[in-house]
Chains A and B, each alone.
Chain A
Amino acid sequence: MEKFAALIDALVYTRGRNEKLRLIAAYLLRTPDPDRGWALAALTGSLDFPAVKSSTIRRLLMERVDPVLWTLSRDFVGDTAETASLLWPEPAEATGAAPTLAEAVEHLSRMTRASVAGELASLLDRLDAAGRYALLKLATGEMRIGVSSRLAKVAFADAFGVAVDDVEEHWHGQAPPYEELFAWAADGAPAPDARHLPLFRPFMLAHPLEDASVSLDEYAAEWKWDGIRVQLVHAGPPGETGETRVYSRSGDDITRSFPELAAAFQIPGIVDGECMVRGSHQGGEEGGAASFNALQQRLGRKTVSRTMLTDYPAFVRLYDVLHWRGEDLRALPWSERRRRLESLFAELPPSHFDLSQIIAAGTFDELAQIRARTRDDAIEGLMLKRRDSPYVAGRRAGLWYKWKRDPLLIDCVLMYAQRGSGKRSSYYSDYTFGCWDGDPDAGAELLPVGKAYSGFTDEELVRLDRHVRQHTVNRFGPVRETDRSLVLEIAFDSAHLSKRHKSGLSMRFPRVHRIRWDKPAHEADRIEALRALVRD
């Protein structure tokens, strides 16, 4: 555990990507099984200990320190695990050697809701502050050390001199502590066989186009639909009934939320598309997708009622095909995969599948005009795909671009600010803002319309934080209410009717576009301005 704790600490303080890779690779090389596998699982967020939650830790600490002092400390630190590691009362006498990482994992996975209080406490008693931090991070699965699952896999590939694409390919289907995977990468054992398992394959992603332009001879254009990216996989051993799974963009299995999609996809293969809900009032001629708001009714559900299925029928708009009837198509150029997709589409039930259309545009300028005219809530912008691009995991420069439509803008007034967490702990970095419900000079009030915590630079954050501290009129725990003096120009993708907000409106993906230090608050927009942008 000490070595793992030291790795976590070193990663916390290391800035450079290369240095992080070096640290992780060095750890993997000098640590034996199964510890290195558990560490890799922790870094890739693949561990889950259902008995240990943030609230478990909080309860454990509240039994040992005054609740008010706990809350004040937690607010300041911005991280439950770290606060607990600092506040844990060290036992008066040593209580046994520090556990190894594998022992810690074994303990954690055996814990139940009834036993967690006692067992977690005795583990914590055997560790120092750095060890407690690592243990709690491991236990709750929120490492927050600036290491993505992808980075950990790259480090694994670097450590053993294998290709990261092969690592991604063999990764899914393997379970921690990944002994088969280490045997393959480190000792040259055969790669794990996953052909007949319905496994997730990493998505191909796009870079933002920024200010570049591309030739339409080389790139094809499609709409970027505003649903969730899904991958449907059907596989099974030869001669047996296969299994279908629906995966989200992050590789989470969401089959239970969309049973009708799984049922409709019964041919061995892997397809990539946008999951949306049918709707009559949006994007009419393309087949009618409802806005993201409607899809949200279906997300995150463990069971789906019959009413849900009827009221919010889901379908997949197909973008790409990765495997079909046993053939791996990922190395083929996009244009060839597209041809295959168009023909295989006929084999799928039209009730649950349609095809993403290729946009007919002669030139890039023409395409730009088409994009500028689009104000459809189901469309986020455009995708540009290089016609000869293979299907590769992750973002690869020059192959796929996303070209989002220009955001909507509105001037709002800062109302509340909350402290952020992680890198922004102690900074007031989450902002709630509102629009006037009438003439502010005639006593109108602000109605909250949204919350944003991005879009500003680190320097601007420092200034915003200072503004909040100097303009506080009320404090509610970690939240401060500010005077109505600062105008934030908010960019957002679309406006919707909402029962959650008092204003009856909500925004999709709001972010701070500009801080209008210069603009008097009474000149900010009124609520009607936002209402006029609703397209529900």
Chain B
Amino acid sequence: MPADFAWIRPEPWGIHVVPADTWIDPARAVPHALVTHGHADHARGGHGTTVATPETLEIMDLRYNTREGAVPVAYGETVRLGGGVDATFLPAGHVLGSAQILLKHAGERVIVTGDYKRRADPTCAPFTVTPCDILVTEATFGLPIFCHPPIEDEIAKLLATLRDQPDRCVLVGAYALGKAQRLIAELRRAGHDAPVYLHGAMERMCRLYEELGVPLGELRPVAGTPRDAMRGHVVVCPPSALNDRWSRRLPDPITAMASGWMRVRQRARQKNVELPLVISDHADWGELTGTVEEVNPAETWITHGREDALLRWHQLHQRRARALALVGYEDEDD
């Protein structure tokens, strides 16, 4: 790595912007944090100041009640961090409010993508390709076996199952922030106007999405709904509730899961999933490698996921790359 980039240092607990003493997505409380998006492994409470997009701050506030020290920054807006470092937030296309963070210092440009994807998503702004010297990328699905199919196909599979077994419901496990809302928005786009039933843990986040301008159609809580009323309908819950006692109140549910991991049969089997839906909010192999080619950085840093394979790809394509050993990022629920 060029020595010039000593101002930005990957540490086990996050990426440290040294001259500004600011951390990106730190895994523990710090005086100054920049947060790429609202997922729990990136956005933690307790920082002195938290710089993030207004949507991410709303999401964080919903989860941790963290109004204090919140500094909203809109997409495209630049903030001075001190120590001669500027930060610009750019859309990452991962979930509502998710951002890449472009850092500039002494003419050098570093982009931290956070989590991202390149596919269209009706619930968030699309990823923008921005030139930089160092691209700090995720690699959750960094293996060539991962190729997410068009989401329309997966939604059609879900709706066909619903039609074929009208006496049952389809219970979809989906991450409560982002995946659930994208799934519902895509169902609406496919013309599915029926009410969607929600696990209690989903309700507030869905409401927040709607308040922030993402319409989701008619949503009803599972709690208090008679079993028979849910036959032939879609029920959405967090993945952890799929095999939980909670689901016993549902009418003979068909267990589905919306996740990029569903591409691998044995992964679906491990989760007792009957209807795997390969839907991911992360970049697949083609998106990861395509993004590196488009952004064309002098060097790629890989934060978390299947970094070995992505490193190998860089080697095969004569590109510079290194893996950062960051702790605390979880990716199993996507």
Given contacts A66-B316, A69-B313, A87-B145, contact A76 B306 (CB under 8 A): yes
Contacts of A14 in B (CB 8 A): 274
CB–CB A72/B265 < 8 A:
no
Does B96 lie at the interface of the complex (its beta carbon under 8 Å from any beta carbon of A)? no
Partner of A426, one of B147, B263, B267, B268: B267
Contacts of B269 in A (CB 8 A): 12-13, 146, 423
Q: List 6 A-B contacts (CB under 8 A).
A: A9-B265, A13-B265, A79-B266, A86-B147, A86-B263, A425-B270
Contacts of A266 in B (CB 8 A): none
Most chain B beta-carbon neighbours within 10 Å: one of A14, A77, A79, A422 = A77
Residue of A nearest to B145 (CB): A86
Question: Which residues 217-269 of B sit at the A interface, judged by CB distance below 8 A?
Answer: 263-269
CB–CB A77/B266 < 8 A:
yes
CB–CB A73/B309 < 8 A:
yes
Give the docked Cα–Cα distance between A83 and B263 (Å): 11
CB–CB B263/A72 < 8 A:
no
CB–CB A73/B144 < 8 A:
yes
Contact with B along A71-88 (1 / 0, CB 8 A): 011001111001100110
Residue of B nearest to A83 (CB): B145
Does B272 lie at the interface of the complex (its beta carbon under 8 Å from any beta carbon of A)? yes
CB–CB B144/A87 < 8 A:
yes
Does B163 lie at the interface of the complex (its beta carbon under 8 Å from any beta carbon of A)? no
Given contacts A66-B312, A73-B143, A73-B144, contact A423 B270 (CB under 8 A): yes
Residue of B nearest to A67 (CB): B312
Contacts of A9 in B (CB 8 A): 265
Partner of B306, one of A66, A72, A87, A133: A72
Question: Which residues 60-102 of B sit at the A interface, judged by CB distance below 8 A?
Answer: none
CB–CB A76/B312 < 8 A:
no
Minimum CB–CB distance from A90 to chain B (whole Å) comes to 10
CB–CB A72/B272 < 8 A:
no
Residue of A nearest to B263 (CB): A86
CB–CB A82/B274 < 8 A:
no
> Which are the 7 A-B pairs with shortest beta-carbon distances?
A86-B145, A425-B266, A72-B309, A68-B312, A73-B145, A13-B274, A12-B265
Partner of A13, one of B276, B312, B313: B276
Question: Which residues 308-333 of B sit at the A interface, judged by CB distance below 8 A?
Answer: 308-309, 312-313, 316
Contacts of B272 in A (CB 8 A): 15
Give the docked Cα–Cα distance between A68 and B291 (Å): 21
Interface residues of A (CB under 8 A from B): 9, 12-15, 65-66, 68-69, 72-73, 76-79, 82-83, 86-87, 133, 146, 422-427
Contact with A along B144-187 (1 / 0, CB 8 A): 11010000000000000000000000000000000000000000
Give the docked Cα–Cα distance between A95 and B145 (Å): 22
Does B273 lie at the interface of the complex (its beta carbon under 8 Å from any beta carbon of A)? yes
Sample of 5 more A-B contacts, CB < 8 Å, known A12-B269, A68-B309, A424-B270: A13-B275, A69-B144, A77-B264, A86-B147, A425-B266
Mostly, the A contact residues are helix
Contacts of A72 in B (CB 8 A): 143, 306, 308-309, 312
A-B contact count (CB 8 A): 68
Give the docked Cα–Cα distance between A287 and B136 (Å): 72
CB–CB A69/B312 < 8 A:
yes
Residue of A nearest to B149 (CB): A129
Give the docked Cα–Cα distance between A146 and B272 (Å): 13
Give the docked Cα–Cα distance between A200 and B144 (Å): 46
CB–CB A13/B268 < 8 A:
yes
Minimum CB–CB distance from B323 to chain A (whole Å) comes to 13
CB–CB A76/B143 < 8 A:
yes
Question: Which residues 123-157 of B sit at the A interface, judged by CB distance below 8 A?
Answer: 143-145, 147
Contacts of A76 in B (CB 8 A): 143, 145, 264, 306
Contacts of B264 in A (CB 8 A): 76-77, 82, 86, 425
CB–CB A69/B309 < 8 A:
yes
Give the docked Cα–Cα distance between A83 and B146 (Å): 10
Give the docked Cα–Cα distance between A150 and B253 (Å): 29
Contacts of A12 in B (CB 8 A): 265, 268-269
Give the docked Cα–Cα distance between A444 and B313 (Å): 43
Give the docked Cα–Cα distance between A454 and B267 (Å): 19
Give the docked Cα–Cα distance between A86 and B144 (Å): 8
Give the docked Cα–Cα distance between A466 and B144 (Å): 25
Residue of A nearest to B316 (CB): A66
Give the docked Cα–Cα distance between A410 and B263 (Å): 41
Residue of A nearest to B146 (CB): A86
Residue of A nearest to B143 (CB): A73
Give the docked Cα–Cα distance between A77 and B306 (Å): 12
CB–CB B145/A77 < 8 A:
yes
Minimum CB–CB distance from B214 to chain A (whole Å) comes to 31
Given contacts A13-B274, A73-B145, contact A78 B266 (CB under 8 A): yes
Give the docked Cα–Cα distance between A83 and B145 (Å): 7
Contacts of B267 in A (CB 8 A): 425-426
Give the docked Cα–Cα distance between A73 and B145 (Å): 7
Give the docked Cα–Cα distance between A65 and B316 (Å): 11
Contacts of B143 in A (CB 8 A): 69, 72-73, 76
Minimum CB–CB distance from B312 to chain A (whole Å) comes to 5
Minimum CB–CB distance from B36 to chain A (whole Å) comes to 24
Residue of B nearest to A79 (CB): B266
Give the docked Cα–Cα distance between A14 and B266 (Å): 12
Minimum CB–CB distance from A45 to chain B (whole Å) comes to 19
CB–CB B266/A13 < 8 A:
no
Minimum CB–CB distance from A85 to chain B (whole Å) comes to 9
Most chain A beta-carbon neighbours within 10 Å: one of B263, B275, B306, B309 = B309
Minimum CB–CB distance from A460 to chain B (whole Å) comes to 15
Minimum CB–CB distance from B329 to chain A (whole Å) comes to 13
Give the docked Cα–Cα distance between A87 and B147 (Å): 10
Minimum CB–CB distance from A9 to chain B (whole Å) comes to 8
Contact with A along B283-322 (1 / 0, CB 8 A): 0000000000000000000000010110011001000000
Minimum CB–CB distance from A342 to chain B (whole Å) comes to 49
Give the docked Cα–Cα distance between A312 and B26 (Å): 66
Minimum CB–CB distance from B187 to chain A (whole Å) comes to 21
Contacts of A68 in B (CB 8 A): 309, 312
Minimum CB–CB distance from B173 to chain A (whole Å) comes to 14
Give the docked Cα–Cα distance between A86 and B269 (Å): 17
Give the docked Cα–Cα distance between A73 and B264 (Å): 11
Minimum CB–CB distance from A87 to chain B (whole Å) comes to 6
Give the docked Cα–Cα distance between A77 and B276 (Å): 16
Give the docked Cα–Cα distance between A505 and B276 (Å): 46
Contacts of B309 in A (CB 8 A): 68-69, 72-73
Give the docked Cα–Cα distance between A296 and B151 (Å): 54
Give the docked Cα–Cα distance between A15 and B271 (Å): 11
Contacts of A78 in B (CB 8 A): 266
Most chain A beta-carbon neighbours within 10 Å: one of B144, B147, B272, B313 = B144
Give the docked Cα–Cα distance between A190 and B266 (Å): 42
Give the docked Cα–Cα distance between A69 and B311 (Å): 10
Give the docked Cα–Cα distance between A230 and B145 (Å): 44
Minimum CB–CB distance from A464 to chain B (whole Å) comes to 15
Minimum CB–CB distance from B262 to chain A (whole Å) comes to 10
Contacts of A66 in B (CB 8 A): 312, 316
Give the docked Cα–Cα distance between A79 and B268 (Å): 14
Minimum CB–CB distance from A468 to chain B (whole Å) comes to 15
Give the docked Cα–Cα distance between A15 and B266 (Å): 13
Contacts of A425 in B (CB 8 A): 264, 266-267, 270
